[in-house]
Amino acid sequence: MADEPDNATNSGSGPPAIKEGADVANPFNDFLGIEIVEAVAGECMMRLALRPEHMNPNDVAHGGVVSTLIDAATGTAVRTLLLERSESERVHVTVDLHVTYLAPAFGKELVAKARVMRGGRTAVFSEAEVRDDTGRVVARGTVTYLLVVSPSPRGS
């Protein structure tokens, strides 16, 4: 994954890029302002421009915002892997989320880089790192997902 990609296209060799919104769209991420920078099979980079409502009373990004960014980036990395494996009927659900906060998240933007460490038939293990706009690592996280067959659509 490139350090500073412009979009979700892949002009070189390696895993195919997943276009933004290609079955990885998430209304919750949209609500928070989390954007896909790049997503390739098993990897994802996401960006969040910090807004006043993301901050705690100390003017630091709220820990829940940081952990949500980790969950969003790792979840999208998992989704791209499922799409690559043509298993789009399966969904992933978070069963364990562990975050280590390393520094206060100041600044205007956070960027998360995530990757799938190991993907099996029923569980997927992933990790992510979050950096502030100075490049300082502010948190690291590991997330375990359970893979299940998608239930009926809402309202059915």
The answer to whether position 96 is within a domain reads yes
CATH code (residue 110):
3.10.129.10
| Residue 6: predicted pLDDT | 35
Higher pLDDT pick, 115 / 6 = 115
| Residue 40: predicted pLDDT | 92
The answer to whether position 9 is within a domain reads no
The answer to whether position 114 is within a domain reads yes
| Residue 83: predicted pLDDT | 82
| Residue 133: predicted pLDDT | 92
| Residue 86: predicted pLDDT | 77
Confidence bin at 4 (pLDDT 50/70/90): very low
Q: pLDDT digit string (tens) for 78-120? A: 999 888 877 777 889 999 999 999 999 999 999 999 999 998 8
The answer to whether position 35 is within a domain reads yes
Domain range for residue 53? Answer: 27-149
The answer to whether position 14 is within a domain reads no
Q: pLDDT digit string (tens) for 32-90? A: 999 999 999 899 999 999 999 999 999 999 999 999 999 999 999 999 988 887 777 78
| Residue 120: predicted pLDDT | 87
User: Could you give the number of structural domains in the chain?
Assistant: 1
The answer to whether position 10 is within a domain reads no
Q: How is residue 25 written in tokens?
A: 């769209």
The answer to whether position 93 is within a domain reads yes
The answer to whether position 84 is within a domain reads yes
Query: Which pTM does this prediction carry?
Result: 0.82
